[in-house]
Structure 1
Amino acid sequence: MAHLTYEVVEHDGGYAYKVGDVFSESFPTHQQAHDAAAAAAERQRASGASEAIEYQDSTGTWHEEQTKGGDRPMTEVEDNLKD
């Protein structure tokens, strides 16, 4: 099973969360960024319907595949910042 970490960080004059190298929008407070990361992590774990998806990989190649609605990653929020 896949595992995703939502990391709360300082970003663009405020705070954001990131997964890998991808940042969320900026939030004015640390607490807002933490709450947004927790909500996003929870939504990522939610099961849904199986459906076809399309995505582009890092080389620019497009792929199509069928995803299983119950195949959701484990998620966590990592927040080492202090208020």
Structure 2
Amino acid sequence: MTKITYDIVEHDGGWAFKLGDTISGTFKTHDAALAAAKRAAAEQQRPDVDRGISWEDKQGKWHDEVSKGDDRPEVEIHDKK
């Protein structure tokens, strides 16, 4: 099973949640960013239908594959505050 981690971080004069190098929009408060991260985590864990996806790797090569709807990641939220 894949594991992903959202980190709550200070960002652009407010707060955001971060996954890898991707940062969410800025929230005015820490609590708002944390609540948004919790919503995103819940959505990540919700089963869905199988879908075809395309993604680009770090070398710029595109890949096509089928993402199984029941193959959901384990999600954690790290909050240093």
Task: Specify the TM-score bucket, using the shorter chain as the normaliser.
Answer: over 0.9
After TM superposition, give the deviation of residue 51 of structure 1 in Å: 1.3
Residue 72 of structure 2 corresponds to 72
> Is structure 2 residue 25 aligned with structure 1 residue 25?
yes
Residue 8 of structure 2 corresponds to 8
> Deviating runs (4+, > 4 A) in structure 1?
none
- In 1, the alpha carbon distance for the partners of 2:5 and 2:27 equals 18
Residue 56 of structure 1 corresponds to 56
- In 1, the alpha carbon distance for the partners of 2:65 and 2:35 equals 32
After TM superposition, give the deviation of residue 67 of structure 1 in Å: 1.2
Question: Across the two proteins, how many residue pairs are aligned to each other?
Answer: 81
TM superposition score normalised by structure 2? 0.95
Unaligned stretches of 5+ residues in structure 2 = none
Letter in 2 for 1:10: E
- In 2, the alpha carbon distance for the partners of 1:54 and 1:18 equals 22
- In 2, the alpha carbon distance for the partners of 1:22 and 1:3 equals 16
Letter in 2 for 1:68: K
TM superposition score normalised by structure 1? 0.93
CA RMSD across the alignment:
0.8
The percent identity for this pair of structures is 44
1:2-43: per-residue Cα shift (whole Å, max 9, x none)? 111111010111100001121111111111000000000110
The DSSP-based 3-state class of the residue aligned with 1:77 is strand
Residue 43 of structure 1 corresponds to 43
